[in-house]
């Protein structure tokens, strides 16, 4: 991975400790691969995809961001809101990635409780922040590769 690659981490710090864990995991991967990164914080998981679209549109003619990492957490509550936020945030990220060929690593956790979120976000346990960073970098590599190279 080239040193000139730039990734934007779009984070919802609604659950601060969980978000901090996801960020730590993602940053470790980015530093190891010498990828530059910046942060953009939004209020909740539903705002992550629109924030990615807005920043993508701003830089479409002069790309400064090569990939995006979506980080946040949705914990099931007593209402239908969990399903809406979980489903729509994932759908929006997939739609953006496919429609505009944007490399996006999805690190938005959707869990039943805080214990699950802490385990999945912990860089020493399931480390889903690192997984989202790896996914983003993999998609960036695919986007920049020549799959028809005959060598």
Catalytic amino acids?
A: 81
The whole-angstrom separation of Cα 16 and Cα 12 is: 8
The whole-angstrom separation of Cα 80 and Cα 62 is: 41
Q: Is 37 helix (H, G, I), strand (E, B) or coil?
A: strand
Q: What is the CA radius of gyration of the chain?
A: 15
- The per-type count for the chain, helices as H runs and strands as E runs, is 5, 4
């Amino acid at each position: 991975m080239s040193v000139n690659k730039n990734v934007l981490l779009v984070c919802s710090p609604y659950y601060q400790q969980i978000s901090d864990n996801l960020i730590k995991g993602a940053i470790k991967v980015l530093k190891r691969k010498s990828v530059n990164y910046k942060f953009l914080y939004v209020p909740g998981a539903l705002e992550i995809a629109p924030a990615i679209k807005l920043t993508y549109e701003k830089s479409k003619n002069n790309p400064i961001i090569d990939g995006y990492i979506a980080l946040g957490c949705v914990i099931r509550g007593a209402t239908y809101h969990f399903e809406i936020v979980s489903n729509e945030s994932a759908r929006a990220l997939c739609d953006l990635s496919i429609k505009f060929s944007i490399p996006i690593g999805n690190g938005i956790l959707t869990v039943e409780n805080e214990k699950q979120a802490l385990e999945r976000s912990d860089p020493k346990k399931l480390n889903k922040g690192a997984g989202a960073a790896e996914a983003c970098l993999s998609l960036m590599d695919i986007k920049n590769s020549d799959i028809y190279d005959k060598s």
